[in-house]
């Protein structure tokens, strides 16, 4: 996730696979490409990305110890 195209591609994949739109700007904020300390991803955004990765939702992602 280093170029604008990377974020646009991920946004398109999320829409195609999960039928949910997440903007490139939101994705850039999540990856620190845009520095915005005030912004946090919404629960829906986290759920969509977790679902894309094969989890039921973000809670499932966290409960499976992915962060460890």
pLDDT at res. 64: 87
- HSE at residue 49, side-chain half, CA atoms within 13 A, is 17
Distance CA 60, CA 31 (A): 21
Distance CA 42, CA 61 (A): 15
pLDDT at res. 38: 79
pLDDT per position as a tens digit, 2-51: 899 999 999 999 999 999 999 999 999 999 898 877 788 999 999 999 99
Distance CA 38, CA 15 (A): 26
pTM: 0.85
């Amino acid at each position: 996730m280093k170029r604008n195209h990377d974020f646009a591609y991920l946004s398109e994949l999320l829409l195609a696979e999960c039928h949910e739109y997440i903007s490139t700007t939101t994705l850039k904020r999540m990856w620190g490409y845009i520095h915005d300390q005030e912004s946090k991803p919404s629960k829906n955004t986290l759920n969509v990305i977790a679902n894309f990765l094969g989890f039921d939702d973000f809670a499932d992602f966290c409960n499976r110890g992915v962060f460890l």
